[in-house]
Amino acid sequence: MAGSRIAGMRPRLSVLACAILIAVAVIALSMRQAHDSALATTALTQAPKTVTVDAATDEAFVTTYPMAASPQRGQVSVLDTRTGAVVTTIATLTNPFATAVDLRARRVVVLNNDSTVSLLAQGGVRVLATIPLKNAALGLTLDASRGHSFVLRSNNTVSSTDVYLFDTRTGRQLRVTTVPVFAVPGVIALDRGDGHILVAGTSGGIGAMSIVDAGTGRLLATRQIPLASMPRALAVDEGLHHAFLADPGGGVVLMLDTRTGGVLHRVAVGAYPQAVAVDAPARRAFVLSVDRAGSGRVGVLDAGSGRLLRATAVGRNPTAIVVDVRHNRVVVTNAGAVDGRFMPVGDGSMSILDATTGGVIRTIPVHGGPVAVGIDEARDRAIVASVVHDRDRGAPLDQMRAIVARLFGQPGGSVGSRRAGDETGSVSLFDLAPY
């Protein structure tokens, strides 16, 4: 009798155990989803391009531009990195496309598409000066120790480019130096350790790098370097005086000596390298590449020897890479599916990598197609800017009607249809502490 009661209890215990396991799994999944969810997502009226973080003021500067043909100008939206809310929007600029923050000079430098530079007061609420460049701005780097800003500027030739040097605090022009390098797109970087500005491009159809003195603006040297195409990105390890230059056409990264411009190592990374980031304390350089199918990967290089240590797969159509030095992480944004214009058409993701091993810690879904990312290391947060299609995020009732119409074979609107100019944007705030 007792044996039959025990036998009858076994199925109940099995059911109870399964229920407990399912409940635990659901709770764990819910906790994971809660960690992976954005702390806040703020809508933008235009498509974003870049993100720059000023940890001293808890602000992020997001450059945006109108996608559709319209008289509307681009903007700089200033966000509070604590809440994700837009503090102010500067709408008087003409399609800004790059920003940099100088904490010492308490200035934000903005490159605009109308051949001007805007100087903002730290906090971003006021335009202090507008600097006319006469020709198109191509790239930007700052030397905060000297209070100097360097803008790479077109001079309307295919044989040289100008380096426009000005005082970051006042906007006063200090010097214009012509370098015998055609640098379009603008590839410029600073090695603060030796006080050298590096400009990479081509000279007479051959790869070249010019070195400019960051103190005086004087051209020091120009060296030929082996390039298969116009370089796409440049990053510097200031402690080792090594620069890493991405050559998409050759599928390689060149490791160069920032003191001489000489090539130290040529590293095959495959596909099309499009961005480079350096973690000096970890002695690592990270190269973001994408192949023709849109598959992304990160090549992890030893910053001392240039040796490729690992190649890690990330998401589809990666767009940006940034190093979180304080917390030993690398963050990559992945746009996901794109259209014929290479614009995101849905939701993407963010890959978080261990900066030492290069392994993926977590991949987090992101609203919209992320195109830029900034890190607030003090608050351990990522600020991700995404392109969002109006038809994806708006009019849910219209989309439901279209679905019902399709189910019953009735005429109805297309679901998730997209047109050029439908794009706006959003900025999402993520807590990186759990990772």
Give one word for 421, left, alpha or beta, with left for phi > 0 and alpha for psi -120 to 50: left
What average pLDDT does the segment 145-165 reach? 96
Task: Give the DSSP H/E element, type plus range, for residue 36.
Answer: helix 2-36
Q: What is the pTM of this model?
A: 0.85
Segment 321-333, tens digit of pLDDT: 999 999 999 999 9
Hey, where are the domains in the chain? 34-431
CA nearest 173: which of 164, 185, 186, 184? 164
CA–CA dist 287, 273 (Å, integer)? 6
- Greatest Cα pair distance, the chain, in angstroms, is 100
If you ran DSSP here, which 8-state letter would residue 249 be given?
A: G
Segment 180-194, tens digit of pLDDT: 999 988 899 999 999
pLDDT at 341: 76
| Residues contacting residue 340 through CB under 8 Å, at least 6 positions apart | none
CA–CA dist 51, 61 (Å, integer)? 6
Burial 260-272 (b: 16+ CB within 10 A, else e): bbebbbebebebb
pLDDT at 195 over 50: yes
CA–CA dist 71, 318 (Å, integer)? 31
> Following CA atoms 109, 110, 116, 121 in sequence, which dihedral angle do they give, to the nearest 10 degrees?
-50
CA nearest 300: which of 269, 258, 342, 266? 269
Task: Give the DSSP H/E element, type plus range, for residue 88.
Answer: strand 86-90
DSSP 296-311: EEEEEEETTT--EEEE
What average pLDDT does the segment 238-254 reach? 97
Amino acid at 258: T
Segment 45-84, tens digit of pLDDT: 999 999 999 988 999 999 998 876 555 688 999 999 999 9
Q: Residue 249, Cα to own-chain centre: how many angstroms?
A: 21
CA–CA dist 364, 352 (Å, integer)? 8
pLDDT band at 17 (very low <50, low <70, confident <90, very high): low
Tell which CATH architecture fits domain 34-431: 7 Propeller (2.130)
CA–CA dist 202, 198 (Å, integer)? 13
> Following CA atoms 146, 286, 109, 157 in sequence, which dihedral angle do they give, to the nearest 10 degrees?
90
Q: Scan for tokens 């500027």, then name that residue.
A: 153
